[in-house]
Homo-oligomer: A and B are copies of this chain.
Amino acid sequence: MSEREQGARLRADARRNREQVLAAARDVFLEQGPDAPLDEIARRAGVGIGTLYRRFPDRDSLVRDLMADNMRRGLDEMRAAVAEEPDAWHALVRFVRRMVELRAGSLGPVLSDRIRADPALGASRDELVGLVEATVEQARADGTLREGIGMGDISLLIVMIGRPPHGLAELTSRWQPARYLEIMLDGLAATNTRPLPGRAITATELRELFRMMKG
């Protein structure tokens, strides 16, 4: 809420810089994890480190705003997908593709201690998880989603596919998430009937993981 109001009152150049910092943070966190040096984020955003600290007083504040943005986009995309796509399978596929494109998996499903602090974040996360879960179950009922696939598999998919291998991040031209996402999606179709090892993380477990970490 606060970041929205701040955002609206910002001077034009300041707002632009803020967006650039968020975009750079998305990339850097995706590549290096949530402990990545803030200096590098500023450098990639093309702003001074002072500018970054002016807008985001500390790391948590940046992480929180980024997560909020990811959640908002995720919810928007998921709602639109459910509303506009002909069935649950196509809604899921569209959602996952968009999330990977938007680098919205940058902070992973597990970032507990920083997330828990903000109740609003938890609420939108729960809503998103609920939507995805319902769609996953619908797709399975339709016989379009492979047997045994759960909501947790979808979350992990977005995180795994979106992250460039070490050392390959700079060579963006050779890193093609979309290619591997499509292979993975084909593996998720119901035409594949081999039983899978393990099982998906459930929404409940996901919430418990949050509590366990660094708590």
Binding site for B on A (CB under 8 A): 33-34, 108-112, 146, 153, 156-157, 159-161, 163, 165-168, 171, 174, 176, 178-180, 182-188, 191-192, 194, 196-199, 201, 205, 209, 212-213
A26 to chain B, nearest CB (A): 14
A188 to chain B, nearest CB (A): 6
In the A-B complex, list the 3 residue pairs whose CB atoms are closest, starting with the nearest: A187-B187, A183-B187, A33-B166
Q: What are 22 A-B interface contacts by the 8 Å CB criterion?
A: A34-B167, A108-B165, A110-B171, A112-B167, A146-B183, A153-B180, A156-B180, A160-B160, A160-B161, A160-B165, A163-B165, A171-B212, A174-B201, A174-B205, A174-B209, A176-B197, A176-B198, A179-B197, A182-B196, A183-B184, A186-B194, A187-B188
Quickly give the copy total for this chain: 2
